[in-house]
């Protein structure tokens, strides 16, 4: 339980199927956490109403009086306008497009509300309380179905005037390569996101390279996922190791660009396949060692994220404390 009288924030990390909410102290201590199903609708922003409902419940669960709630932070899976409090576009929660999240949630909870993009929140969480807590400048990559990220300079996560700073998934690493969801070709996300990884593994199997994945992925490889590839690489599977090495190479190339652009103290890799360990980190570090000539970047400063899938929730809570500090 929080020491008597201290203020807390509630962080909410919204997702298309579930969301979680947590009560967090200014030191990053998690007092209570709960996961919920995300209610869906074609045109009503039910997820925002559910998030607002969760705030009261989680405060009660933490046994903290409502007058100690400093504010609510909400991580949104898509681009937002944080000043206006508006969700610009949420591909996995499209009924939120254009919704004023701050108005809806503060209307229901009576608390100040701040919103942020989920990758922004994850970066902020790692900067404040995770792998980056001892540095002021970092670049974060979140590896999943897509590739997100964020850049922190002077202890602040920056987004730029058009909110695109840190969109590392759209750094071009292979001109003319696979088509990306953004319409471009050869973006990092196209090469090392879910589809890029799976496509490469399937192509190698079709070329006759033997693999444990043949049996594990179903007759038409329809069950194949990046996690399965990283597990097979752990088991010593040559094909899976090849796929991870290729992903590591492309990530390394993108990191080299980030190093000269942002001059980070630390590079943090989070999300599903970042848990793969050396099979991914070795090729990344090798690429950076060989290609980041002027920086002399110490490749041991490329590290895994520490907050796992709680990063979004922690980061949402951190939005509240940061806003308080800025006033
Ligand atoms: Zn792209």
Q: Report the C-alpha gap between 154 and 173 in whole angstroms.
A: 27
Distance 169 CA to ligand 1 centre (A): 6
Is 319:124 a contact under the CB 8 Å cutoff?
A: yes
User: Is 171 found in the same domain as 93?
Assistant: no
Q: Is residue 2 part of a domain?
A: no
User: Is 321 found in the same domain as 298?
Assistant: no
Distance 177 CA to ligand 1 centre (A): 11
Q: Is residue 129 part of a domain?
A: no
Task: Using the structure block, give the residue that is written with the tokens 């980030």.
Answer: 258
Distance 67 CA to ligand 1 centre (A): 44
The C-alpha R_g of the chain, in whole angstroms, comes to 20
Q: Is residue 92 part of a domain?
A: yes
pTM of the entire structure?
Answer: 0.93
Span 71-97, pLDDT tens digits: 999 999 999 999 999 999 998 899 999
Q: Report the C-alpha gap between 224 and 321 in whole angstroms.
A: 41
Bridge partners, residue 8, by sequence = 69
User: Is 322 found in the same domain as 300?
Assistant: no
Is 188:287 a contact under the CB 8 Å cutoff?
A: no
User: Is 156 found in the same domain as 72?
Assistant: no
Span 92-117, pLDDT tens digits: 899 999 999 999 999 999 999 999 99
Q: Is residue 89 part of a domain?
A: yes
Tokens representing 36?
A: 């919920």
- Identify the domain containing residue 23 by its residue range: 8-124+310-326
Number of domains in the chain: 2
Q: How many CA atoms lie within 13 A of 168 on its CB side?
A: 35
User: Is 188 found in the same domain as 71?
Assistant: no
Residues in Cβ contact with 285 at an 8 Å cutoff, skipping those fewer than 6 apart: 252, 299, 300, 302
User: Is 143 found in the same domain as 53?
Assistant: no
- Give the whole-number percent of the chain exceeding pLDDT 70: 98
Tokens representing 4?
A: 């008597």
Phi, psi of 299 (to 5 degrees): -70, -10
**Average pLDDT of every residue of the chain:** 94
Q: Is residue 83 part of a domain?
A: yes
Residue 155 pLDDT greater than 90, yes or no: yes
User: Is 103 found in the same domain as 165?
Assistant: no
User: Is 163 found in the same domain as 233?
Assistant: yes
Residue 117 belongs to a domain with what CATH number? 3.30.420.40
Distance 46 CA to ligand 1 centre (A): 30
Q: Report the C-alpha gap between 289 and 150 in whole angstroms.
A: 22
Distance 146 CA to ligand 1 centre (A): 10
What is the pLDDT at residue 162? Answer: 86
Tokens representing 229?
A: 């590839």
Distance 248 CA to ligand 1 centre (A): 18
What is the pLDDT at residue 4? Answer: 58
Distance 31 CA to ligand 1 centre (A): 38
Span 45-75, pLDDT tens digits: 999 999 999 999 999 999 999 999 999 999 9
Three-state secondary structure of the chain = CCCCCCCEEEEEEECCCEEEEEEECCCCCEEEEEEEECCCCCCCCHHHHHHHHHHHHHHHHCCCCHHHEEEEEEEECCCEECCCCEECCCCCCHHHCCCEHHHHHHHHHCCCEEEEEHHHHHHHHHHHHCCCCCCCCEEEEEECCCEEEEEEECCEEECCCCCCCCCHHHCECCCCCCECCCCCECEHHHHHCHHHHHHHHHHHHHCCCCCCHHHHCCCCCCCCCHHHHHHHHHCCCHHHHHHHHHHHHHHHHHHHHHHHHHCCCEEEEECHHHHHCHHHHHHHHHHHHHHCCCCCCCHHHEEECCCHHHHHHHHHHHHHHHHHHHC
Residue 3 pLDDT greater than 70, yes or no: no
Residue 1 pLDDT greater than 80, yes or no: no
Q: Report the C-alpha gap between 217 and 93 in whole angstroms.
A: 29
Task: Using the structure block, give the residue that is written with the tokens 């879910």.
Answer: 194
Q: Is residue 1 part of a domain?
A: no
Task: Using the structure block, give the residue that is written with the tokens 């919204």.
Answer: 14
Distance 13 CA to ligand 1 centre (A): 24
Distance 168 CA to ligand 1 centre (A): 9
Phi, psi of 236 (to 5 degrees): 90, 10
Residue 168 pLDDT greater than 90, yes or no: yes
Span 243-295, pLDDT tens digits: 999 999 999 999 999 999 999 999 999 988 888 889 999 999 999 999 988 88
- Give the whole-number percent of the chain exceeding pLDDT 90: 88
Is 251:291 a contact under the CB 8 Å cutoff?
A: no
User: Is 227 found in the same domain as 142?
Assistant: yes
Span 4-17, pLDDT tens digits: 568 999 999 999 99
Phi, psi of 20 (to 5 degrees): -125, 155
Q: Report the C-alpha gap between 284 and 266 in whole angstroms.
A: 14
């Amino acid at each position: 339980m929080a020491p008597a009288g201290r203020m807390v924030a509630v962080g909410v990390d919204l997702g298309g199927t579930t969301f979680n909410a947590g009560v967090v102290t200014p030191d990053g201590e998690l007092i209570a956490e709960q996961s919920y199903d995300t209610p869906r609708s074609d045109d009503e922003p039910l997820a925002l109403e559910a998030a607002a409902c969760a705030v009261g419940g989680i405060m009660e669960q933490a046994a903290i009086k409502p007058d100690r709630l400093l504010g609510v932070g909400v991580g949104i899976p898509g681009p937002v306008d944080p000043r206006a409090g508006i969700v610009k576009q949420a591909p996995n929660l499209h009924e939120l497009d254009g919704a004023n999240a701050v108005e809806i949630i503060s209307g229901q909870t009576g608390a100040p509300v701040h919103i942020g993009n989920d990758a922004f929140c994850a970066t902020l969480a790692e900067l404040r309380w995770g792998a980056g807590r001892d540095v002021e400048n970092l670049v974060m990559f979140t590896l999943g179905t897509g590739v997100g990220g964020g850049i922190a300079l002077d202890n602040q996560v920056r987004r730029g005037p058009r909110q695109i700073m840190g969109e590392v998934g759209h750094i071009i690493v292979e001109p003319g390569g696979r088509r990306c969801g953004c319409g471009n070709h050869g973006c990092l996300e196209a090469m090392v996101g879910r589809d890029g990884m799976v496509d490469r593994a399937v192509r190698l199997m079709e070329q006759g390279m033997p693999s444990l994945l043949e049996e594990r992925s179903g007759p038409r490889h329809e069950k194949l996922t990046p996690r399965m590839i990283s597990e097979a690489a752990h088991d010593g599977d040559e094909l899976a190791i090849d796929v991870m090495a290729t992903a590591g190479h492309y990530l390394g190339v993108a990191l080299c660009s980030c190093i000269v652009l942002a001059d980070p103290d630390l590079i943090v890799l989070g999300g599903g396949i970042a848990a793969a360990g050396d099979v991914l980190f070795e090729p990344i570090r090798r690429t950076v060692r060989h290609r980041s000539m002027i920086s002399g970047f110490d490749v041991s400063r490329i590290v895994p994220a520490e907050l796992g899938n709680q990063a979004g929730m922690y980061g949402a809570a951190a939005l509240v404390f940061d806003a308080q500090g800025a006033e």
